[in-house]
Amino acid sequence: MSISLDYTNMMTDAVGTEYGVSDEEITGFIAQTKGIHQHIQERRDSGELPFFDLPHNLAAIDEILTLAKEIQADFDDLIVLGIGGSALGTTAMFKALCYGHNFQSKEQRGGLPRLFVLDNVDPDGFATHLALCDPAQTCFLVISKSGTTVETTSQFLVARQWVEESVGGVFCDHFVLITDPENGVLRELADREGYRSCAIPAGVGGRFTAFTPVCLLPLACVGVDISRLLKGAADFSRFVCHGDLETNPAYLNAVLQYLAYQKGLRTSVLMPYSDRLKDIADWYRQLWAESLGKKFSTDGAILHVGPTPVSALGTTDQHSQVQLYMEGPFDKVVTFIAVGEFDQDLKLPDYEASPEMFYLAGHTMGELIRVEQLATAAALVRNQRSNCTIHIPMVTPETVGALIYLFEVQTLFAGYLFDVNPLDQPGVEEGKLFTYALMGRQGFETKAEEYASIKAHLRSRILSCK
Protein backbone atom coordinates (compact mmCIF):
# COMPACT_ATOMS: atom_id res chain seq x y z
CA MET A 1 0.00 0.00 0.00
CA SER A 2 1.51 3.29 -1.03
CA ILE A 3 -0.34 6.49 -0.19
CA SER A 4 1.21 9.82 -1.02
CA LEU A 5 0.57 13.51 -0.51
CA ASP A 6 1.59 15.56 -3.54
CA TYR A 7 1.79 19.19 -2.43
CA THR A 8 3.71 20.53 -5.41
CA ASN A 9 0.79 22.78 -6.34
CA MET A 10 0.60 24.37 -2.90
CA MET A 11 4.01 25.97 -3.26
CA THR A 12 5.04 29.48 -4.32
CA ASP A 13 6.84 28.22 -7.42
CA ALA A 14 3.56 26.69 -8.61
CA VAL A 15 0.91 29.25 -7.64
CA GLY A 16 2.86 32.42 -6.81
CA THR A 17 3.93 34.17 -3.67
CA GLU A 18 0.58 35.61 -2.60
CA TYR A 19 -1.18 32.31 -1.98
CA GLY A 20 1.57 29.76 -2.33
CA VAL A 21 3.57 28.34 0.55
CA SER A 22 7.37 28.61 0.68
CA ASP A 23 9.81 25.95 1.89
CA GLU A 24 10.89 28.37 4.60
CA GLU A 25 7.33 28.70 5.84
CA ILE A 26 7.06 24.94 6.17
CA THR A 27 10.41 24.50 7.89
CA GLY A 28 9.37 27.31 10.23
CA PHE A 29 6.94 24.80 11.75
CA ILE A 30 9.45 22.03 12.37
CA ALA A 31 10.24 22.97 15.97
CA GLN A 32 6.60 23.69 16.85
CA THR A 33 5.62 20.33 15.36
CA LYS A 34 8.04 18.51 17.63
CA GLY A 35 6.52 20.28 20.64
CA ILE A 36 2.96 19.50 19.56
CA HIS A 37 3.87 15.91 18.84
CA GLN A 38 5.42 15.56 22.27
CA HIS A 39 2.22 16.93 23.81
CA ILE A 40 0.07 14.55 21.76
CA GLN A 41 2.24 11.65 22.93
CA GLU A 42 1.83 12.68 26.55
CA ARG A 43 -1.93 12.89 26.15
CA ARG A 44 -2.00 9.50 24.44
CA ASP A 45 0.07 7.99 27.25
CA SER A 46 -2.31 9.38 29.85
CA GLY A 47 -5.31 7.90 27.99
CA GLU A 48 -6.71 11.26 26.91
CA LEU A 49 -6.75 10.47 23.18
CA PRO A 50 -8.05 6.91 22.93
CA PHE A 51 -9.06 7.24 19.27
CA PHE A 52 -5.38 7.01 18.33
CA ASP A 53 -5.06 3.44 19.53
CA LEU A 54 -8.33 2.02 18.22
CA PRO A 55 -6.85 0.47 15.05
CA HIS A 56 -4.50 -1.59 17.21
CA ASN A 57 -7.31 -2.95 19.37
CA LEU A 58 -7.97 -6.20 17.51
CA ALA A 59 -9.45 -7.81 20.63
CA ALA A 60 -12.62 -5.72 20.16
CA ILE A 61 -13.26 -7.36 16.79
CA ASP A 62 -14.38 -10.77 18.06
CA GLU A 63 -17.41 -9.44 19.90
CA ILE A 64 -18.40 -7.38 16.86
CA LEU A 65 -18.07 -10.32 14.48
CA THR A 66 -20.15 -12.58 16.73
CA LEU A 67 -22.93 -10.03 16.87
CA ALA A 68 -22.67 -9.37 13.13
CA LYS A 69 -23.11 -13.09 12.42
CA GLU A 70 -26.28 -13.17 14.53
CA ILE A 71 -27.68 -10.15 12.70
CA GLN A 72 -26.77 -11.61 9.30
CA ALA A 73 -28.52 -14.86 10.18
CA ASP A 74 -31.71 -13.25 11.45
CA PHE A 75 -32.39 -10.20 9.30
CA ASP A 76 -32.77 -9.05 5.70
CA ASP A 77 -32.33 -5.37 6.44
CA LEU A 78 -30.21 -3.35 8.79
CA ILE A 79 -31.02 0.26 9.59
CA VAL A 80 -28.63 2.57 11.41
CA LEU A 81 -30.35 5.26 13.46
CA GLY A 82 -27.87 8.00 14.33
CA ILE A 83 -26.60 11.40 13.26
CA GLY A 84 -23.31 13.27 12.81
CA GLY A 85 -20.41 11.17 14.01
CA SER A 86 -22.78 8.29 14.67
CA ALA A 87 -23.72 8.03 11.00
CA LEU A 88 -21.28 9.68 8.59
CA GLY A 89 -18.38 7.25 9.02
CA THR A 90 -20.59 4.26 8.30
CA THR A 91 -22.12 5.91 5.25
CA ALA A 92 -18.67 6.83 3.93
CA MET A 93 -17.08 3.43 4.41
CA PHE A 94 -20.16 1.51 3.29
CA LYS A 95 -20.20 3.36 -0.01
CA ALA A 96 -16.45 3.00 -0.43
CA LEU A 97 -16.28 -0.71 0.32
CA CYS A 98 -19.73 -2.08 -0.64
CA TYR A 99 -20.56 0.08 -3.62
CA GLY A 100 -23.96 -0.88 -5.06
CA HIS A 101 -24.65 -3.38 -2.26
CA ASN A 102 -28.28 -2.32 -1.69
CA PHE A 103 -29.04 -2.55 -5.40
CA GLN A 104 -28.03 -6.19 -5.57
CA SER A 105 -30.43 -9.09 -5.09
CA LYS A 106 -30.20 -11.05 -1.85
CA GLU A 107 -28.45 -13.80 -3.75
CA GLN A 108 -25.91 -11.39 -5.25
CA ARG A 109 -25.29 -10.03 -1.74
CA GLY A 110 -24.54 -13.55 -0.54
CA GLY A 111 -27.58 -13.38 1.74
CA LEU A 112 -26.18 -10.38 3.61
CA PRO A 113 -28.63 -7.70 4.77
CA ARG A 114 -29.09 -4.40 3.02
CA LEU A 115 -27.88 -1.39 5.01
CA PHE A 116 -29.61 1.97 5.32
CA VAL A 117 -28.14 4.79 7.37
CA LEU A 118 -30.93 7.14 8.38
CA ASP A 119 -29.53 10.34 9.84
CA ASN A 120 -32.45 12.71 9.63
CA VAL A 121 -35.89 13.28 11.01
CA ASP A 122 -37.49 14.17 7.72
CA PRO A 123 -40.70 12.15 8.04
CA ASP A 124 -40.86 11.59 4.28
CA GLY A 125 -37.37 10.16 4.17
CA PHE A 126 -37.82 8.06 7.27
CA ALA A 127 -41.22 6.64 6.32
CA THR A 128 -40.05 5.89 2.78
CA HIS A 129 -37.18 3.82 4.08
CA LEU A 130 -39.31 1.94 6.59
CA ALA A 131 -41.75 1.13 3.81
CA LEU A 132 -38.89 -0.53 1.88
CA CYS A 133 -38.37 -3.01 4.70
CA ASP A 134 -40.34 -5.69 6.51
CA PRO A 135 -40.41 -4.98 10.27
CA ALA A 136 -40.21 -8.69 11.06
CA GLN A 137 -36.97 -8.89 9.06
CA THR A 138 -35.35 -5.62 10.08
CA CYS A 139 -32.69 -4.94 12.67
CA PHE A 140 -31.97 -1.42 13.95
CA LEU A 141 -28.65 -0.20 15.29
CA VAL A 142 -29.49 2.75 17.52
CA ILE A 143 -26.28 4.72 17.80
CA SER A 144 -25.79 7.63 20.15
CA LYS A 145 -22.82 8.30 22.37
CA SER A 146 -24.77 10.67 24.62
CA GLY A 147 -28.01 8.73 24.36
CA THR A 148 -29.92 12.00 24.37
CA THR A 149 -29.75 13.20 20.77
CA VAL A 150 -33.28 14.20 19.85
CA GLU A 151 -33.12 12.98 16.24
CA THR A 152 -31.93 9.52 17.19
CA THR A 153 -34.34 9.30 20.12
CA SER A 154 -37.34 10.16 17.96
CA GLN A 155 -36.24 7.73 15.21
CA PHE A 156 -35.95 5.02 17.86
CA LEU A 157 -39.44 5.72 19.21
CA VAL A 158 -41.01 5.40 15.76
CA ALA A 159 -38.97 2.31 14.84
CA ARG A 160 -39.67 0.56 18.13
CA GLN A 161 -43.42 0.99 17.72
CA TRP A 162 -43.24 -0.09 14.07
CA VAL A 163 -41.47 -3.31 15.00
CA GLU A 164 -43.60 -4.00 18.08
CA GLU A 165 -46.79 -3.70 16.03
CA SER A 166 -45.43 -6.42 13.78
CA VAL A 167 -43.65 -8.85 16.09
CA GLY A 168 -45.09 -8.06 19.52
CA GLY A 169 -43.17 -8.73 22.72
CA VAL A 170 -39.93 -9.84 21.08
CA PHE A 171 -39.30 -6.40 19.55
CA CYS A 172 -36.18 -5.93 21.72
CA ASP A 173 -34.41 -8.59 19.61
CA HIS A 174 -34.63 -6.23 16.64
CA PHE A 175 -32.55 -3.50 18.28
CA VAL A 176 -28.90 -3.17 19.18
CA LEU A 177 -28.02 -0.06 21.15
CA ILE A 178 -24.54 1.36 20.60
CA THR A 179 -23.77 3.92 23.24
CA ASP A 180 -21.61 5.01 26.15
CA PRO A 181 -20.36 2.09 28.25
CA GLU A 182 -21.84 3.49 31.46
CA ASN A 183 -23.94 6.59 31.07
CA GLY A 184 -27.03 7.85 29.28
CA VAL A 185 -30.59 6.85 28.56
CA LEU A 186 -29.70 4.21 25.97
CA ARG A 187 -27.29 2.46 28.32
CA GLU A 188 -29.96 2.51 31.03
CA LEU A 189 -32.54 1.10 28.59
CA ALA A 190 -30.19 -1.64 27.43
CA ASP A 191 -29.53 -2.69 31.01
CA ARG A 192 -33.17 -2.47 32.08
CA GLU A 193 -35.06 -3.82 29.05
CA GLY A 194 -32.57 -6.37 27.82
CA TYR A 195 -31.62 -4.90 24.45
CA ARG A 196 -28.35 -6.14 23.03
CA SER A 197 -25.74 -3.40 23.17
CA CYS A 198 -22.20 -2.39 22.29
CA ALA A 199 -20.03 0.16 24.07
CA ILE A 200 -18.46 3.17 22.39
CA PRO A 201 -15.09 3.32 24.15
CA ALA A 202 -14.95 6.03 26.80
CA GLY A 203 -13.31 9.24 25.66
CA VAL A 204 -13.89 8.70 21.93
CA GLY A 205 -16.07 11.51 20.57
CA GLY A 206 -18.67 10.99 17.83
CA ARG A 207 -16.63 12.01 14.80
CA PHE A 208 -13.62 9.97 15.91
CA THR A 209 -15.59 6.70 16.21
CA ALA A 210 -14.76 5.23 12.79
CA PHE A 211 -12.84 2.34 14.35
CA THR A 212 -15.39 1.52 17.09
CA PRO A 213 -18.59 -0.55 16.95
CA VAL A 214 -20.35 2.62 15.71
CA CYS A 215 -19.02 1.86 12.22
CA LEU A 216 -17.43 -1.56 12.58
CA LEU A 217 -20.64 -3.39 13.51
CA PRO A 218 -22.78 -2.21 10.58
CA LEU A 219 -19.84 -2.66 8.20
CA ALA A 220 -19.16 -6.19 9.45
CA CYS A 221 -22.86 -7.03 8.98
CA VAL A 222 -22.65 -6.19 5.28
CA GLY A 223 -19.49 -8.18 4.78
CA VAL A 224 -16.68 -5.62 5.08
CA ASP A 225 -13.50 -7.23 6.34
CA ILE A 226 -13.11 -4.97 9.34
CA SER A 227 -9.80 -6.50 10.35
CA ARG A 228 -8.35 -5.31 7.03
CA LEU A 229 -9.79 -1.85 7.68
CA LEU A 230 -8.13 -1.70 11.09
CA LYS A 231 -4.91 -3.16 9.73
CA GLY A 232 -4.79 -0.44 7.09
CA ALA A 233 -5.06 2.25 9.74
CA ALA A 234 -2.69 0.47 12.14
CA ASP A 235 -0.03 -0.01 9.45
CA PHE A 236 -0.40 3.59 8.34
CA SER A 237 0.06 4.86 11.90
CA ARG A 238 3.82 4.57 11.51
CA PHE A 239 3.70 7.35 8.92
CA VAL A 240 1.49 9.73 10.91
CA CYS A 241 2.49 9.06 14.52
CA HIS A 242 5.92 10.66 14.62
CA GLY A 243 7.09 14.21 15.06
CA ASP A 244 9.06 14.79 11.85
CA LEU A 245 6.96 17.34 9.98
CA GLU A 246 8.53 16.81 6.59
CA THR A 247 7.74 13.09 6.46
CA ASN A 248 4.43 13.00 8.33
CA PRO A 249 1.60 13.57 5.79
CA ALA A 250 -1.02 14.24 8.48
CA TYR A 251 1.03 16.94 10.18
CA LEU A 252 2.32 18.35 6.90
CA ASN A 253 -1.13 18.63 5.34
CA ALA A 254 -2.42 20.30 8.52
CA VAL A 255 0.40 22.86 8.26
CA LEU A 256 -0.28 23.42 4.54
CA GLN A 257 -4.00 23.89 5.17
CA TYR A 258 -3.25 26.22 8.08
CA LEU A 259 -0.83 28.33 6.02
CA ALA A 260 -3.37 28.49 3.19
CA TYR A 261 -5.99 29.67 5.69
CA GLN A 262 -3.62 32.39 6.94
CA LYS A 263 -3.24 33.57 3.35
CA GLY A 264 -7.00 33.96 2.99
CA LEU A 265 -7.80 30.56 1.46
CA ARG A 266 -10.46 29.87 4.04
CA THR A 267 -12.52 27.34 2.13
CA SER A 268 -11.08 23.87 2.01
CA VAL A 269 -12.46 21.65 -0.75
CA LEU A 270 -12.02 17.89 -0.64
CA MET A 271 -12.60 16.40 -4.08
CA PRO A 272 -12.18 12.67 -4.58
CA TYR A 273 -12.13 11.42 -8.16
CA SER A 274 -14.07 8.29 -7.28
CA ASP A 275 -17.78 7.68 -6.76
CA ARG A 276 -16.90 5.24 -4.03
CA LEU A 277 -15.05 7.92 -2.06
CA LYS A 278 -17.72 10.60 -2.46
CA ASP A 279 -19.02 10.19 1.07
CA ILE A 280 -15.53 10.15 2.56
CA ALA A 281 -15.54 13.84 1.61
CA ASP A 282 -18.83 14.31 3.51
CA TRP A 283 -17.44 12.50 6.54
CA TYR A 284 -14.32 14.68 6.41
CA ARG A 285 -16.45 17.81 6.05
CA GLN A 286 -18.01 17.15 9.46
CA LEU A 287 -14.68 16.18 11.01
CA TRP A 288 -12.97 19.36 9.82
CA ALA A 289 -15.91 21.72 10.47
CA GLU A 290 -17.00 20.53 13.88
CA SER A 291 -13.44 20.12 15.12
CA LEU A 292 -11.94 23.40 13.94
CA GLY A 293 -14.82 25.88 13.69
CA LYS A 294 -14.60 27.50 17.10
CA LYS A 295 -15.28 30.77 18.89
CA PHE A 296 -12.71 30.38 21.65
CA SER A 297 -9.03 29.58 21.74
CA THR A 298 -7.77 26.92 24.15
CA ASP A 299 -7.19 29.62 26.77
CA GLY A 300 -10.56 31.28 26.30
CA ALA A 301 -9.73 34.19 23.98
CA ILE A 302 -12.32 35.00 21.32
CA LEU A 303 -11.07 33.79 17.90
CA HIS A 304 -14.00 32.89 15.61
CA VAL A 305 -11.75 30.68 13.55
CA GLY A 306 -12.05 27.71 11.23
CA PRO A 307 -11.77 26.77 7.58
CA THR A 308 -15.03 26.01 5.77
CA PRO A 309 -14.89 22.50 4.35
CA VAL A 310 -16.64 21.78 1.07
CA SER A 311 -17.09 18.35 -0.45
CA ALA A 312 -16.99 17.91 -4.21
CA LEU A 313 -16.77 14.99 -6.59
CA GLY A 314 -14.58 14.59 -9.64
CA THR A 315 -15.32 14.60 -12.47
CA THR A 316 -18.97 15.45 -11.78
CA ASP A 317 -18.29 18.80 -10.10
CA GLN A 318 -15.94 19.91 -12.87
CA HIS A 319 -19.22 20.77 -14.55
CA SER A 320 -20.68 22.40 -11.45
CA GLN A 321 -18.10 23.87 -9.05
CA VAL A 322 -14.79 24.10 -10.86
CA GLN A 323 -15.64 27.29 -12.73
CA LEU A 324 -15.87 28.97 -9.32
CA TYR A 325 -12.68 27.34 -8.06
CA MET A 326 -10.78 28.55 -11.16
CA GLU A 327 -12.02 32.09 -11.53
CA GLY A 328 -13.93 33.03 -8.41
CA PRO A 329 -12.43 34.64 -5.31
CA PHE A 330 -9.01 33.52 -4.12
CA ASP A 331 -10.41 31.85 -1.03
CA LYS A 332 -10.12 28.12 -1.68
CA VAL A 333 -7.63 25.35 -1.40
CA VAL A 334 -8.53 22.11 -3.16
CA THR A 335 -7.42 18.67 -1.98
CA PHE A 336 -7.95 15.96 -4.58
CA ILE A 337 -8.07 12.27 -3.78
CA ALA A 338 -6.81 10.34 -6.81
CA VAL A 339 -7.20 6.58 -7.19
CA GLY A 340 -4.49 4.67 -9.07
CA GLU A 341 -6.50 1.68 -10.17
CA PHE A 342 -10.20 0.88 -10.25
CA ASP A 343 -11.69 -2.51 -9.41
CA GLN A 344 -13.31 -2.64 -12.80
CA ASP A 345 -12.11 -0.66 -15.77
CA LEU A 346 -13.95 -0.13 -19.02
CA LYS A 347 -12.24 0.05 -22.36
CA LEU A 348 -13.45 2.84 -24.62
CA PRO A 349 -14.20 1.13 -27.91
CA ASP A 350 -13.68 2.31 -31.43
CA TYR A 351 -16.74 3.76 -33.17
CA GLU A 352 -15.99 4.27 -36.81
CA ALA A 353 -19.17 6.17 -37.51
CA SER A 354 -17.86 9.14 -35.56
CA PRO A 355 -14.30 10.36 -36.29
CA GLU A 356 -14.80 13.01 -33.58
CA MET A 357 -14.66 10.24 -30.97
CA PHE A 358 -11.54 8.53 -32.38
CA TYR A 359 -9.16 10.02 -29.85
CA LEU A 360 -10.85 8.06 -27.09
CA ALA A 361 -10.61 4.65 -28.72
CA GLY A 362 -8.24 2.27 -26.97
CA HIS A 363 -8.16 4.28 -23.76
CA THR A 364 -10.11 3.31 -20.64
CA MET A 365 -12.61 5.10 -18.46
CA GLY A 366 -10.23 4.72 -15.52
CA GLU A 367 -7.54 6.46 -17.52
CA LEU A 368 -9.96 9.25 -18.41
CA ILE A 369 -10.93 10.00 -14.81
CA ARG A 370 -7.26 10.00 -13.77
CA VAL A 371 -6.34 12.31 -16.62
CA GLU A 372 -9.20 14.67 -15.82
CA GLN A 373 -7.93 15.02 -12.25
CA LEU A 374 -4.44 15.85 -13.53
CA ALA A 375 -5.91 18.28 -16.03
CA THR A 376 -7.99 20.05 -13.40
CA ALA A 377 -5.01 20.32 -11.05
CA ALA A 378 -2.87 21.81 -13.82
CA ALA A 379 -5.60 24.25 -14.84
CA LEU A 380 -5.89 25.37 -11.21
CA VAL A 381 -2.13 25.99 -11.14
CA ARG A 382 -2.43 28.00 -14.33
CA ASN A 383 -4.92 30.18 -12.44
CA GLN A 384 -2.68 30.42 -9.33
CA ARG A 385 -5.08 28.24 -7.34
CA SER A 386 -3.53 26.18 -4.52
CA ASN A 387 -4.23 22.46 -4.62
CA CYS A 388 -2.75 19.20 -3.48
CA THR A 389 -3.46 15.53 -4.17
CA ILE A 390 -3.65 12.51 -1.92
CA HIS A 391 -2.95 9.44 -4.07
CA ILE A 392 -4.20 6.05 -3.05
CA PRO A 393 -3.41 2.97 -5.14
CA MET A 394 -6.93 1.45 -4.96
CA VAL A 395 -10.07 1.67 -2.85
CA THR A 396 -9.62 -1.24 -0.43
CA PRO A 397 -10.38 -1.73 3.28
CA GLU A 398 -6.70 -1.02 3.98
CA THR A 399 -6.50 2.24 2.03
CA VAL A 400 -9.84 3.46 3.38
CA GLY A 401 -8.69 2.69 6.93
CA ALA A 402 -5.46 4.56 6.27
CA LEU A 403 -7.25 7.57 4.76
CA ILE A 404 -9.63 7.86 7.70
CA TYR A 405 -6.75 7.63 10.14
CA LEU A 406 -4.74 10.20 8.18
CA PHE A 407 -7.59 12.71 8.35
CA GLU A 408 -8.26 12.07 12.05
CA VAL A 409 -4.64 12.73 12.99
CA GLN A 410 -4.47 15.71 10.63
CA THR A 411 -7.53 17.22 12.29
CA LEU A 412 -6.20 16.76 15.81
CA PHE A 413 -2.89 18.36 14.81
CA ALA A 414 -4.69 21.22 13.03
CA GLY A 415 -6.52 21.91 16.31
CA TYR A 416 -3.15 22.82 17.83
CA LEU A 417 -2.26 25.11 14.94
CA PHE A 418 -5.60 26.92 15.09
CA ASP A 419 -5.30 26.88 18.91
CA VAL A 420 -8.74 25.35 19.43
CA ASN A 421 -10.02 22.20 21.07
CA PRO A 422 -10.83 19.89 18.14
CA LEU A 423 -12.61 17.37 20.35
CA ASP A 424 -15.58 19.43 21.51
CA GLN A 425 -18.55 21.05 19.73
CA PRO A 426 -20.09 23.67 22.03
CA GLY A 427 -21.62 25.53 19.07
CA VAL A 428 -24.22 22.86 18.38
CA GLU A 429 -25.52 22.90 21.98
CA GLU A 430 -27.58 26.09 21.78
CA GLY A 431 -29.79 24.83 18.96
CA LYS A 432 -30.26 21.52 20.77
CA LEU A 433 -31.43 23.30 23.93
CA PHE A 434 -33.94 25.43 22.02
CA THR A 435 -35.24 22.27 20.35
CA TYR A 436 -35.80 20.60 23.71
CA ALA A 437 -37.59 23.74 24.93
CA LEU A 438 -39.83 23.93 21.85
CA MET A 439 -40.68 20.22 22.11
CA GLY A 440 -41.84 20.81 25.71
CA ARG A 441 -39.10 18.90 27.49
CA GLN A 442 -39.28 19.31 31.25
CA GLY A 443 -36.51 21.43 32.75
CA PHE A 444 -36.12 23.62 29.66
CA GLU A 445 -38.82 26.19 30.50
CA THR A 446 -36.27 29.03 30.86
CA LYS A 447 -34.88 28.19 27.45
CA ALA A 448 -38.42 28.40 26.02
CA GLU A 449 -38.76 31.89 27.54
CA GLU A 450 -35.41 32.87 26.08
CA TYR A 451 -36.55 31.67 22.65
CA ALA A 452 -39.81 33.66 22.96
CA SER A 453 -37.86 36.75 23.96
CA ILE A 454 -35.50 36.46 20.95
CA LYS A 455 -38.49 36.17 18.63
CA ALA A 456 -40.27 39.09 20.35
CA HIS A 457 -37.32 41.38 19.76
CA LEU A 458 -37.12 40.65 16.05
CA ARG A 459 -39.17 42.63 13.56
CA SER A 460 -40.60 39.95 11.38
CA ARG A 461 -39.93 40.34 7.64
CA ILE A 462 -41.69 37.62 5.65
CA LEU A 463 -42.46 37.80 1.96
CA SER A 464 -45.40 35.48 1.27
CA CYS A 465 -46.35 34.60 -2.27
CA LYS A 466 -49.94 33.41 -1.99
Active site residues: 290, 319, 432
* 422: contact with ligand PA5 by CB under 6 A: no
Report how far residue 18's alpha carbon sits from residue 250's, in angstroms, rounded to the nearest whole number: 24
Indicate whether 403 belongs to the interface with ligand PA5 (CB under 6 A): no
**Please, what sign has the CA dihedral across residues 91, 96, 100, 101?**
negative
Q: Which of 9, 33, 86, 335 binds ligand PA5 (CB under 6 A)?
A: 86
Residue window 274-313: x/- pattern of binding to ligand PA5, with contact defined by CB under 6 A: ----------------x-----------------------
Nearer to ligand PA5, 77 or 290 (CB): 290
Determine contact, residues 279/97, Cβ cutoff 8 Å: no
- Residue 349 beta carbon to ligand PA5: minimum distance, rounded to whole angstroms: 46
Q: x/- binding map, residues 438-457, to ligand PA5, per CB under 6 A?
A: --------------------
DSSP 241-262: SSS-GGG-HHHHHHHHHHHHHH
Indicate which single residue of 205, 306, 401, 422 sits in contact with ligand PA5 (rule: CB under 6 A). 205
Q: Is residue 144 a contact residue for ligand PA5 (CB under 6 A)?
A: yes
Nearest of 146, 428, 145, 412 to residue 298 by alpha carbon = 412
Q: What's the rounded Cα separation, in Å, for the pair 215 and 90?
A: 5
Q: What are phi and psi of 377, to 5 degrees?
A: -60, -45
Output the CA torsion sign for 320, 286, 395, 244.
positive
Min dist CB 153 to ligand PA5, Å, is 9
How many residues does this entry show for the chain? 466
The upper half-sphere exposure of residue 284, i.e. CA atoms within 13 Å in the direction of its Cβ, equals 28
Find the part of the chain contacting ligand PA5 (CB under 6 A) among 82-90, 128-136, 227-235, 407-415.
82-90
425 binds ligand PA5 (CB under 6 A): yes
Check binding of 207 to ligand PA5 (CB under 6 A): yes
411 binds ligand PA5 (CB under 6 A): no
By CB under 6 A, is residue 154 in contact with ligand PA5? no
Q: How many helices (H) and strands (E) does the chain have?
A: 17, 12
Compute the Cα dihedral for 49, 52, 56, 58 and give only its sign: positive
Q: Which residue sits closest to ligand PA5, CB atoms considered?
A: 206
Nearer to ligand PA5, 146 or 166 (CB): 146
Among 33, 149, 321, 386, which residue interacts with ligand PA5 (rule: CB under 6 A)? 149
Stretch near ligand PA5 under the rule CB under 6 A, chosen from 34-42, 83-91, 345-353, 409-417: 83-91
Rule CB under 6 A: say whether 91 interacts with ligand PA5: no
Instruction: Name 78's bridge partners.
Output: 115, 139
**What's the DSSP call for residue 273?**
S
- The footprint of ligand PA5 (CB under 6 A) covers 83-86, 144-146, 149, 152, 205-207, 290, 425
